[in-house]
């Protein structure tokens, strides 16, 4: 790693002040816990003239009950989520995912907003400046060729945040603020299938919070990830599931994936599995749906086909377990 580039650090004390600073500085970036951004800057991935630190913006803090559910401020740390017993009961997939991110020291400062806005990753991109220079950089930053798919003109770097799929299967919406006001969209709409520009966020916008619907006692959920190092690592594939089931049939099913594509996404076609028992035929169909819709490329040192297959295996196991277990809380293996 190299020294950080020179930058001016601003610590606004309100959302309006943060938004004004962002709008006034073309090359400014916001930083929350810094566990992703600072590492990238120390790899020479960007050199913003100004960093706007969000830690003192009150509008981004706290977990608050609302008439229709819960609001989690974008500045809430992953440690806070991981340690929250009420969240573990109401939204088990979210807590399981937070517990599976990095190491305790990272989670103590890493934020929900930073996790959702995490940059995409690739074995040709998350390298030192010298390594990337020695390989003529790449399409995503400073180069003109994608080393993963050299004949194309698209970046396939994978989104590898753990929380997004867990929130998606709980139907999360997000609030985005800009100098023009705030807008609320579903979390799934934050993401675009482009490894070089995967966020549908304007340069002057800040993610301020996440909304979850009211607690549904019958809903079971969980999150699982495959990683190279069990103690601390990004997902090679991560799967969140939520479902309603009784002994006869599945009555709802949501599956979301991360680590395989430039965006986390909700699996399509799960409606065809409803009203049926969770048996081998249904699980084989689920496996096929997943293997068709994920598109892992050679962006990690692990083979793409392994990531495709392990995504399906994780989902099948999770659906099977959630459909038979009486408890909703599934902690990652």
Ligand X SMILES: Cc1cc2nc3c(=O)[nH]c(=O)nc-3n(C[C@H](O)[C@H](O)[C@H](O)COP(=O)(O)OP(=O)(O)OC[C@H]3O[C@@H](n4cnc5c(N)ncnc54)[C@H](O)[C@@H]3O)c2cc1C
Point out which residues bind ligand SF4 (CB under 6 A): 122, 124-125, 138-140, 146-148, 155-157, 195, 299
Q: From ligand X, ligand SF4, none, which one binds at residue 48 (CB under 5 to 8 Å depending on kind)?
A: none
- How far is 266 from 283, CA to CA, in rounded Å? 17
- How far is 333 from 329, CA to CA, in rounded Å? 12
Residue 195 Cβ vs ligand SF4, minimum distance, rounded to whole Å = 5
Residue 41 Cβ vs ligand SF4, minimum distance, rounded to whole Å = 17
CA dihedral 128, 301, 304, 236 (to 10 degrees): -80
**By CB under 6 A, which span of 32-40, 125-133, 249-257, 275-283 interacts with ligand X?**
32-40
- How far is 65 from 77, CA to CA, in rounded Å? 17
Of 62 and 134, the one with the shorter C-beta distance to ligand SF4 is 134
Q: Which residues contact 152 (CB under 8 A, 6 or more apart)?
A: 146
**Residue 113: other Cβ atoms inside 10 A:** 24
Of 138 and 316, the one with the shorter C-beta distance to ligand SF4 is 138
Of 111 and 160, the one with the shorter C-beta distance to ligand SF4 is 160
253, 254, 267, 275, 282 from 272: Cα distances, Å: 10, 12, 12, 8, 9
- How far is 84 from 100, CA to CA, in rounded Å? 14
Q: Is 55 in contact with 73 (CB distance < 8 Å)?
A: no
Asked if 84 touches ligand X (CB under 6 A), the answer is no
Of 58 and 152, the one with the shorter C-beta distance to ligand SF4 is 152
Residue 185 Cβ vs ligand X, minimum distance, rounded to whole Å = 13
Residue 258 Cβ vs ligand X, minimum distance, rounded to whole Å = 8
In the DSSP assignment, the letter for residue 48 is -
- Residue number of the CB closest to ligand X reads 114
Q: From ligand SF4, ligand X, none, which one binds at residue 299 (CB under 5 to 8 Å depending on kind)?
A: ligand SF4
- How far is 13 from 325, CA to CA, in rounded Å? 46
**By CB under 6 A, which span of 123-131, 229-237, 277-285, 314-322 interacts with ligand X?**
229-237
Asked if 262 touches ligand X (CB under 6 A), the answer is no
Q: Is 265 in contact with 201 (CB distance < 8 Å)?
A: no
Asked if 117 touches ligand X (CB under 6 A), the answer is yes
96, 207, 223, 231, 330 from 333: Cα distances, Å: 10, 31, 9, 11, 9
Q: Which of 59, 79, 119, 175 touches ligand X (CB under 6 A)?
A: 119
Of 240 and 294, the one with the shorter C-beta distance to ligand SF4 is 294
Asked if 118 touches ligand X (CB under 6 A), the answer is yes
Q: From ligand X, ligand SF4, none, which one binds at residue 195 (CB under 5 to 8 Å depending on kind)?
A: ligand SF4
Binding site residues, ligand X, CB under 6 A: 29-37, 39, 54, 74, 78, 101-102, 106, 110-111, 113-115, 117-119, 161-162, 206-207, 232-234
């Amino acid at each position: 790693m190299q020294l950080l580039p020179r930058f001016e650090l601003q610590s606004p004390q309100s959302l309006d002040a943060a938004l004004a600073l962002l709008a006034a500085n073309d090359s400014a970036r916001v930083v929350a816990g810094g566990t992703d951004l600072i590492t990238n800057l120390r790899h020479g991935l960007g050199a913003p003239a100004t960093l706007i630190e969000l830690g003192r913006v009150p509008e981004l803090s706290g977990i608050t009950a609302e008439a229709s559910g819960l609001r989690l401020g974008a500045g809430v740390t992953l440690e806070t989520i991981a340690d929250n017993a009420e969240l573990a009961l109401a939204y088990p997939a979210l807590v399981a995912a937070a517990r599976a991110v990095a190491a305790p020291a990272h989670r103590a400062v890493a934020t929900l907003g930073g996790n959702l806005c995490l940059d995409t990753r690739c074995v040709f991109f998350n390298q030192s400046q010298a390594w990337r220079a020695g390989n003529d950089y790449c399409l995503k930053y400073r180069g003109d060729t994608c080393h993963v798919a050299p004949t194309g003109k698209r970046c396939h770097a994978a989104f590898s945040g753990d929380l997004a799929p867990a929130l998606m299967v709980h139907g999360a919406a997000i609030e985005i603020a800009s100098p023009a006001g705030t807008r609320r969209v579903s979390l799934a709409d934050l993401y675009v299938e482009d490894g070089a520009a995967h966020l549908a966020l304007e340069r002057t916008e800040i993610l301020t919070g996440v909304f979850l619907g009211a607690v549904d006692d019958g809903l079971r959920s969980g999150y699982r990830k495959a990683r190279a190092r069990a103690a601390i690592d990004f997902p090679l594939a991560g799967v969140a599931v939520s479902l309603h089931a009784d002994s006869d049939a599945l009555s709802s099913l949501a599956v979301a994936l991360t680590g395989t594509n430039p965006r986390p996404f909700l699996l399509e076609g799960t409606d065809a599995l409803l009203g049926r028992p969770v048996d081998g035929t249904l699980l084989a169909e689920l496996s096929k749906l997943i293997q068709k819709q994920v598109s892992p490329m050679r962006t990690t040192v692990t083979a793409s086909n392994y990531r495709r297959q392990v995504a399906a295996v994780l989902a099948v196991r999770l659906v099977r377990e959630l459909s038979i277990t009486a408890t909703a809380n599934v902690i990652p293996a």
